Copies of this chain bind each other. A is one copy, B any other.
Amino acid sequence: MEMTFRWYGHDDPVTLENIRQIPGMRGIVSAIYDIPVGEVWPRERIRQLKEDIESKGLKLSVIESVPVHEDIKLGKPSRDQLIANYAETIRNLGAEGVNVVCYNFMPVFDWTRTDLAFELPDGSNALIFDEAVAAKMDPVSGELSLPGWDASYTKEEMKNIIDEYGQIDKETLWENLRYFIERIIPVAEAADVKMAIHPDDPPYDIFGLPRIITDQAAVERFLDLYDSPANGLTLCVGSYASDPANDAVAILRYALGRERVNFMHARNIKLTGQGKSFQESAHPTEYGSIDMYEVIKALVDHNWEGPIRPDHGRMIWGETGRPGYGLYDRALGATYLYGLHEAITKENK
Protein backbone atom coordinates (compact mmCIF):
# COMPACT_ATOMS: atom_id res chain seq x y z
CA MET A 1 0.00 0.00 0.00
CA GLU A 2 1.03 3.60 -0.53
CA MET A 3 0.63 5.85 2.53
CA THR A 4 -0.92 9.21 1.71
CA PHE A 5 -2.22 12.27 3.55
CA ARG A 6 -4.97 14.69 2.69
CA TRP A 7 -3.82 18.26 2.10
CA TYR A 8 -6.18 21.18 1.53
CA GLY A 9 -3.77 23.26 -0.50
CA HIS A 10 -1.69 26.29 0.34
CA ASP A 11 -4.13 27.69 2.87
CA ASP A 12 -4.11 24.43 4.85
CA PRO A 13 -2.40 25.06 8.21
CA VAL A 14 -0.85 21.62 7.70
CA THR A 15 2.01 22.16 5.24
CA LEU A 16 3.58 19.81 2.73
CA GLU A 17 6.81 20.16 4.71
CA ASN A 18 4.95 18.86 7.79
CA ILE A 19 3.53 15.92 5.87
CA ARG A 20 6.87 15.02 4.30
CA GLN A 21 8.38 14.50 7.75
CA ILE A 22 5.89 11.77 8.73
CA PRO A 23 7.71 8.42 8.50
CA GLY A 24 6.46 6.26 5.67
CA MET A 25 4.57 9.05 3.96
CA ARG A 26 4.64 8.87 0.15
CA GLY A 27 1.77 10.71 -1.39
CA ILE A 28 -0.71 13.54 -1.18
CA VAL A 29 -4.46 13.49 -1.56
CA SER A 30 -5.66 16.88 -2.67
CA ALA A 31 -7.88 18.81 -5.05
CA ILE A 32 -8.26 22.17 -6.72
CA TYR A 33 -10.58 23.97 -4.37
CA ASP A 34 -11.31 27.24 -6.10
CA ILE A 35 -12.89 25.98 -9.30
CA PRO A 36 -16.70 26.00 -9.00
CA VAL A 37 -18.39 22.61 -9.04
CA GLY A 38 -19.22 21.65 -12.60
CA GLU A 39 -16.43 23.54 -14.33
CA VAL A 40 -13.47 21.95 -16.11
CA TRP A 41 -10.13 21.70 -14.27
CA PRO A 42 -7.55 23.06 -16.69
CA ARG A 43 -4.40 21.04 -17.29
CA GLU A 44 -2.13 23.87 -16.20
CA ARG A 45 -3.83 24.09 -12.80
CA ILE A 46 -3.47 20.33 -12.34
CA ARG A 47 0.17 20.50 -13.40
CA GLN A 48 0.83 23.31 -10.95
CA LEU A 49 -0.70 21.33 -8.08
CA LYS A 50 1.38 18.32 -9.03
CA GLU A 51 4.58 20.32 -9.26
CA ASP A 52 3.96 22.05 -5.92
CA ILE A 53 3.66 18.64 -4.28
CA GLU A 54 6.59 17.05 -6.09
CA SER A 55 8.82 19.99 -5.22
CA LYS A 56 8.40 18.94 -1.58
CA GLY A 57 9.43 15.34 -2.21
CA LEU A 58 5.94 13.87 -2.35
CA LYS A 59 3.64 12.75 -5.17
CA LEU A 60 0.08 13.66 -6.02
CA SER A 61 -1.49 10.25 -5.52
CA VAL A 62 -5.21 10.91 -5.47
CA ILE A 63 -7.66 13.68 -6.26
CA GLU A 64 -10.23 13.93 -3.49
CA SER A 65 -12.59 14.96 -4.84
CA VAL A 66 -13.78 16.01 -8.24
CA PRO A 67 -17.25 16.92 -6.94
CA VAL A 68 -20.34 15.78 -8.85
CA HIS A 69 -22.73 18.66 -9.54
CA GLU A 70 -26.14 18.38 -7.86
CA ASP A 71 -27.84 18.62 -11.28
CA ILE A 72 -26.17 15.33 -12.23
CA LYS A 73 -27.41 13.66 -9.04
CA LEU A 74 -30.86 15.13 -9.62
CA GLY A 75 -30.90 14.07 -13.28
CA LYS A 76 -31.67 17.56 -14.56
CA PRO A 77 -31.37 18.43 -18.26
CA SER A 78 -28.21 20.40 -17.62
CA ARG A 79 -26.43 17.21 -16.59
CA ASP A 80 -25.17 16.36 -20.10
CA GLN A 81 -23.03 19.48 -20.28
CA LEU A 82 -21.90 18.99 -16.68
CA ILE A 83 -20.93 15.37 -17.38
CA ALA A 84 -19.04 16.51 -20.47
CA ASN A 85 -17.15 18.95 -18.28
CA TYR A 86 -16.47 16.25 -15.71
CA ALA A 87 -15.18 13.97 -18.46
CA GLU A 88 -12.86 16.72 -19.64
CA THR A 89 -11.49 17.09 -16.12
CA ILE A 90 -10.87 13.35 -15.95
CA ARG A 91 -9.06 13.45 -19.30
CA ASN A 92 -6.95 16.36 -18.09
CA LEU A 93 -6.07 14.56 -14.86
CA GLY A 94 -5.05 11.43 -16.75
CA ALA A 95 -2.99 13.47 -19.19
CA GLU A 96 -1.10 14.98 -16.25
CA GLY A 97 -0.47 11.54 -14.75
CA VAL A 98 -2.99 11.68 -11.91
CA ASN A 99 -4.62 8.28 -11.85
CA VAL A 100 -7.03 8.00 -8.93
CA VAL A 101 -10.12 10.17 -8.43
CA CYS A 102 -12.36 10.03 -5.38
CA TYR A 103 -15.90 11.33 -5.58
CA ASN A 104 -19.25 10.73 -3.95
CA PHE A 105 -22.90 10.75 -4.88
CA MET A 106 -24.36 12.11 -1.64
CA PRO A 107 -27.21 14.59 -2.10
CA VAL A 108 -26.30 18.13 -1.00
CA PHE A 109 -24.37 17.26 2.13
CA ASP A 110 -21.05 15.52 2.23
CA TRP A 111 -20.08 13.77 5.47
CA THR A 112 -22.19 14.81 8.44
CA ARG A 113 -21.64 15.02 12.18
CA THR A 114 -23.58 16.63 15.00
CA ASP A 115 -20.64 17.88 17.12
CA LEU A 116 -17.22 18.76 15.78
CA ALA A 117 -15.38 19.01 19.08
CA PHE A 118 -16.75 16.44 21.50
CA GLU A 119 -14.35 16.06 24.42
CA LEU A 120 -13.03 12.56 25.02
CA PRO A 121 -11.79 11.39 28.48
CA ASP A 122 -8.16 12.19 27.59
CA GLY A 123 -9.03 15.81 26.79
CA SER A 124 -8.82 15.36 23.04
CA ASN A 125 -11.68 16.44 20.79
CA ALA A 126 -13.46 14.28 18.27
CA LEU A 127 -16.24 14.50 15.73
CA ILE A 128 -19.36 12.66 16.78
CA PHE A 129 -22.74 11.79 15.32
CA ASP A 130 -25.66 11.64 17.71
CA GLU A 131 -28.75 10.24 16.05
CA ALA A 132 -31.14 12.06 18.38
CA VAL A 133 -29.43 15.40 17.79
CA ALA A 134 -29.36 14.87 14.03
CA ALA A 135 -33.09 14.17 14.04
CA LYS A 136 -33.70 17.63 15.44
CA MET A 137 -31.27 19.50 13.21
CA ASP A 138 -32.48 21.83 10.49
CA PRO A 139 -30.10 21.47 7.55
CA VAL A 140 -31.27 24.78 6.11
CA SER A 141 -30.29 26.77 9.17
CA GLY A 142 -26.57 26.76 8.35
CA GLU A 143 -25.82 25.89 11.97
CA LEU A 144 -23.29 23.28 10.92
CA SER A 145 -20.60 23.35 8.26
CA LEU A 146 -17.98 20.68 7.65
CA PRO A 147 -14.86 20.52 5.50
CA GLY A 148 -15.94 19.36 2.05
CA TRP A 149 -19.42 20.82 2.22
CA ASP A 150 -20.32 23.23 -0.53
CA ALA A 151 -20.60 26.51 1.34
CA SER A 152 -21.79 28.42 -1.70
CA TYR A 153 -25.52 27.95 -1.16
CA THR A 154 -27.71 30.67 0.30
CA LYS A 155 -30.39 29.49 2.72
CA GLU A 156 -33.00 29.94 0.01
CA GLU A 157 -31.00 27.90 -2.48
CA MET A 158 -30.42 25.23 0.16
CA LYS A 159 -34.15 25.02 0.81
CA ASN A 160 -34.88 24.72 -2.89
CA ILE A 161 -32.36 21.98 -3.53
CA ILE A 162 -33.56 19.96 -0.56
CA ASP A 163 -37.10 20.32 -1.91
CA GLU A 164 -35.92 19.05 -5.28
CA TYR A 165 -34.49 15.92 -3.69
CA GLY A 166 -37.86 15.48 -2.04
CA GLN A 167 -39.16 14.65 -5.52
CA ILE A 168 -36.77 11.78 -6.20
CA ASP A 169 -36.50 8.42 -4.54
CA LYS A 170 -33.53 6.11 -4.15
CA GLU A 171 -34.23 4.24 -7.38
CA THR A 172 -34.14 7.49 -9.28
CA LEU A 173 -30.87 8.38 -7.57
CA TRP A 174 -29.47 4.98 -8.61
CA GLU A 175 -30.60 5.66 -12.18
CA ASN A 176 -28.92 9.05 -12.14
CA LEU A 177 -25.73 7.44 -10.84
CA ARG A 178 -25.89 4.84 -13.60
CA TYR A 179 -26.33 7.59 -16.19
CA PHE A 180 -23.22 9.33 -14.86
CA ILE A 181 -21.13 6.15 -14.58
CA GLU A 182 -21.97 4.94 -18.08
CA ARG A 183 -20.62 8.17 -19.51
CA ILE A 184 -17.64 8.74 -17.23
CA ILE A 185 -16.10 5.29 -16.83
CA PRO A 186 -15.25 4.84 -20.54
CA VAL A 187 -13.52 8.21 -20.40
CA ALA A 188 -11.65 7.22 -17.24
CA GLU A 189 -10.58 3.92 -18.81
CA ALA A 190 -9.19 5.74 -21.83
CA ALA A 191 -7.45 8.29 -19.61
CA ASP A 192 -5.95 5.62 -17.31
CA VAL A 193 -7.84 7.04 -14.35
CA LYS A 194 -9.42 4.89 -11.65
CA MET A 195 -12.63 6.33 -10.26
CA ALA A 196 -13.31 5.64 -6.59
CA ILE A 197 -16.77 6.33 -5.18
CA HIS A 198 -16.86 7.21 -1.50
CA PRO A 199 -19.68 5.73 0.57
CA ASP A 200 -22.33 7.95 2.06
CA ASP A 201 -21.22 9.10 5.49
CA PRO A 202 -22.96 8.14 7.64
CA PRO A 203 -24.37 5.40 5.41
CA TYR A 204 -28.09 6.00 5.75
CA ASP A 205 -30.69 8.64 4.89
CA ILE A 206 -30.18 11.92 6.65
CA PHE A 207 -32.30 15.08 6.83
CA GLY A 208 -34.84 13.14 4.75
CA LEU A 209 -32.39 12.96 1.84
CA PRO A 210 -31.91 9.63 0.08
CA ARG A 211 -28.51 7.94 0.40
CA ILE A 212 -27.59 4.88 -1.64
CA ILE A 213 -23.90 3.88 -1.20
CA THR A 214 -24.47 2.44 2.22
CA ASP A 215 -23.74 -1.28 2.55
CA GLN A 216 -22.47 -4.42 0.87
CA ALA A 217 -25.58 -4.85 -1.27
CA ALA A 218 -25.07 -1.30 -2.51
CA VAL A 219 -21.43 -2.02 -3.30
CA GLU A 220 -22.41 -5.10 -5.28
CA ARG A 221 -25.07 -3.19 -7.17
CA PHE A 222 -22.71 -0.30 -7.82
CA LEU A 223 -19.90 -2.47 -9.17
CA ASP A 224 -22.40 -4.27 -11.40
CA LEU A 225 -23.42 -0.95 -12.95
CA TYR A 226 -20.24 -0.98 -14.96
CA ASP A 227 -17.73 -3.77 -14.69
CA SER A 228 -14.34 -2.13 -15.05
CA PRO A 229 -11.24 -1.57 -12.91
CA ALA A 230 -11.89 2.12 -13.55
CA ASN A 231 -15.23 1.80 -11.76
CA GLY A 232 -14.13 1.23 -8.21
CA LEU A 233 -14.43 2.31 -4.61
CA THR A 234 -12.98 4.53 -1.99
CA LEU A 235 -13.32 1.91 0.72
CA CYS A 236 -13.87 4.11 3.75
CA VAL A 237 -14.12 1.62 6.59
CA GLY A 238 -15.17 4.32 9.05
CA SER A 239 -18.17 5.26 6.94
CA TYR A 240 -19.40 1.73 6.38
CA ALA A 241 -18.88 0.82 10.03
CA SER A 242 -21.04 3.75 11.16
CA ASP A 243 -24.10 1.59 10.49
CA PRO A 244 -24.13 -1.13 13.16
CA ALA A 245 -25.71 -3.47 10.58
CA ASN A 246 -22.58 -3.33 8.40
CA ASP A 247 -19.45 -5.47 8.67
CA ALA A 248 -16.91 -3.05 7.21
CA VAL A 249 -14.14 -5.64 6.96
CA ALA A 250 -16.45 -8.03 5.10
CA ILE A 251 -17.35 -5.25 2.66
CA LEU A 252 -13.64 -4.53 2.20
CA ARG A 253 -12.84 -8.19 1.56
CA TYR A 254 -15.71 -8.46 -0.91
CA ALA A 255 -14.48 -5.43 -2.85
CA LEU A 256 -10.87 -6.62 -2.75
CA GLY A 257 -12.06 -9.95 -4.14
CA ARG A 258 -13.51 -8.08 -7.10
CA GLU A 259 -10.34 -5.96 -7.41
CA ARG A 260 -12.32 -2.78 -7.13
CA VAL A 261 -10.71 -1.02 -4.16
CA ASN A 262 -9.07 1.97 -5.79
CA PHE A 263 -8.46 4.02 -2.64
CA MET A 264 -8.60 3.31 1.09
CA HIS A 265 -9.73 5.53 3.96
CA ALA A 266 -8.67 3.99 7.27
CA ARG A 267 -10.48 5.61 10.14
CA ASN A 268 -11.93 4.22 13.32
CA ILE A 269 -15.27 5.00 14.94
CA LYS A 270 -16.80 3.84 18.18
CA LEU A 271 -20.47 2.90 18.06
CA THR A 272 -21.93 4.16 21.32
CA GLY A 273 -24.72 1.59 21.50
CA GLN A 274 -27.29 4.39 21.27
CA GLY A 275 -28.91 3.49 17.95
CA LYS A 276 -26.63 4.55 15.13
CA SER A 277 -24.78 7.15 17.16
CA PHE A 278 -21.00 7.03 17.04
CA GLN A 279 -17.86 8.90 18.03
CA GLU A 280 -14.78 9.15 15.92
CA SER A 281 -11.80 7.69 17.77
CA ALA A 282 -8.05 7.39 17.53
CA HIS A 283 -7.10 4.94 14.78
CA PRO A 284 -6.04 1.87 16.84
CA THR A 285 -8.40 -1.05 17.23
CA GLU A 286 -8.68 -0.66 21.01
CA TYR A 287 -10.36 2.73 20.69
CA GLY A 288 -13.00 1.94 18.11
CA SER A 289 -15.46 -0.59 16.72
CA ILE A 290 -13.25 -1.51 13.75
CA ASP A 291 -10.45 -4.06 14.06
CA MET A 292 -7.82 -2.12 12.14
CA TYR A 293 -5.53 -5.13 12.08
CA GLU A 294 -8.21 -7.00 10.12
CA VAL A 295 -8.44 -4.07 7.70
CA ILE A 296 -4.72 -4.07 6.91
CA LYS A 297 -4.62 -7.87 6.95
CA ALA A 298 -7.27 -7.91 4.22
CA LEU A 299 -5.16 -5.54 2.12
CA VAL A 300 -2.03 -7.66 2.56
CA ASP A 301 -3.91 -10.89 1.82
CA HIS A 302 -4.91 -9.38 -1.52
CA ASN A 303 -1.46 -7.91 -2.23
CA TRP A 304 -3.19 -4.58 -2.47
CA GLU A 305 -0.85 -1.79 -3.61
CA GLY A 306 -3.12 1.23 -3.81
CA PRO A 307 -3.16 4.53 -1.93
CA ILE A 308 -4.42 4.60 1.64
CA ARG A 309 -4.77 7.50 4.00
CA PRO A 310 -5.40 7.96 7.68
CA ASP A 311 -8.76 9.62 7.90
CA HIS A 312 -10.15 12.07 10.40
CA GLY A 313 -8.06 12.55 13.48
CA ARG A 314 -8.97 13.86 16.87
CA MET A 315 -7.68 17.27 17.87
CA ILE A 316 -4.84 16.70 20.33
CA TRP A 317 -1.96 18.66 21.86
CA GLY A 318 -3.92 21.90 21.61
CA GLU A 319 -4.04 21.88 17.82
CA THR A 320 -6.70 23.95 16.10
CA GLY A 321 -7.70 23.72 12.47
CA ARG A 322 -10.12 21.98 10.14
CA PRO A 323 -12.28 19.57 12.16
CA GLY A 324 -10.95 16.07 11.56
CA TYR A 325 -8.02 17.33 9.52
CA GLY A 326 -5.34 18.42 11.95
CA LEU A 327 -1.79 17.20 11.56
CA TYR A 328 -1.07 15.39 14.80
CA ASP A 329 -3.58 12.64 15.31
CA ARG A 330 -3.75 11.83 11.61
CA ALA A 331 0.05 11.46 11.57
CA LEU A 332 -0.14 9.14 14.60
CA GLY A 333 -2.74 7.15 12.68
CA ALA A 334 -0.46 6.94 9.66
CA THR A 335 2.51 5.47 11.57
CA TYR A 336 0.19 3.07 13.41
CA LEU A 337 -1.22 1.80 10.10
CA TYR A 338 2.30 1.64 8.68
CA GLY A 339 3.39 -0.51 11.64
CA LEU A 340 0.46 -2.88 11.17
CA HIS A 341 1.30 -3.16 7.48
CA GLU A 342 5.02 -3.78 7.97
CA ALA A 343 4.34 -6.51 10.53
CA ILE A 344 1.59 -8.29 8.62
CA THR A 345 3.62 -8.19 5.40
CA LYS A 346 6.68 -9.66 7.09
CA GLU A 347 4.64 -12.25 9.01
CA ASN A 348 3.24 -13.50 5.71
CA LYS A 349 6.53 -13.78 3.85
Q: Which residues of A does B touch, CB under 8 Å? A: 17-18, 20-24, 57, 121-124, 282-287, 292-293, 296-297, 314, 316-317, 327-328, 331-333, 335-344, 346-348
Tell me the dominant secondary structure on chain A's binding face: helix
Given A293-B342, A332-B332, A347-B344, residue A317 in contact with residue B21 (CB < 8 A): yes
Extra contacts, 5 of them, besides A18-B317, A328-B331, A336-B338 (Cβ < 8 A), are A23-B332, A328-B328, A337-B339, A338-B339, A343-B344
**Chain B hits for A18, CB < 8 A:** 316-317
A24 (CB) vs chain B CBs: closest residue: B284
**Chain B hits for A21, CB < 8 A:** 122-124, 314, 316-317
A121 (CB) vs chain B CBs: closest residue: B57
**Chain B hits for A292, CB < 8 A:** 342
Closest approach, in angstroms, between the C-beta of A340 and any C-beta of chain B? Answer: 4
Q: Are A24 and B286 in contact (CB under 8 A)?
A: yes
Which of A17, A23, A122, A342: most chain B Cβ within 10 A? A23
Q: Are B22 and A343 in contact (CB under 8 A)?
A: no
Closest 10 CB pairs of A and B: A339-B339, A343-B343, A23-B282, A335-B336, A21-B316, A336-B339, A347-B347, A339-B340, A332-B335, A340-B343
**Chain B hits for A328, CB < 8 A:** 328, 331
How far, in whole Å, are A346 and B339 apart by their CA atoms in the complex? 13
**Chain B hits for A293, CB < 8 A:** 342-343, 346
Q: Are A122 and B57 in contact (CB under 8 A)?
A: yes
How far, in whole Å, are A286 and B24 apart by their CA atoms in the complex? 8
How far, in whole Å, are A292 and B346 apart by their CA atoms in the complex? 11
Q: Are A20 and B346 in contact (CB under 8 A)?
A: no
Closest approach, in angstroms, between the C-beta of A149 and any C-beta of chain B? Answer: 27
Q: Are A342 and B342 in contact (CB under 8 A)?
A: no
Closest approach, in angstroms, between the C-beta of A306 and any C-beta of chain B? Answer: 19
How far, in whole Å, are A296 and B17 apart by their CA atoms in the complex? 30
Closest approach, in angstroms, between the C-beta of A177 and any C-beta of chain B? Answer: 36
Q: Which of B121, B123, B327, B343 contacts A347 (CB 8 A)?
A: B343
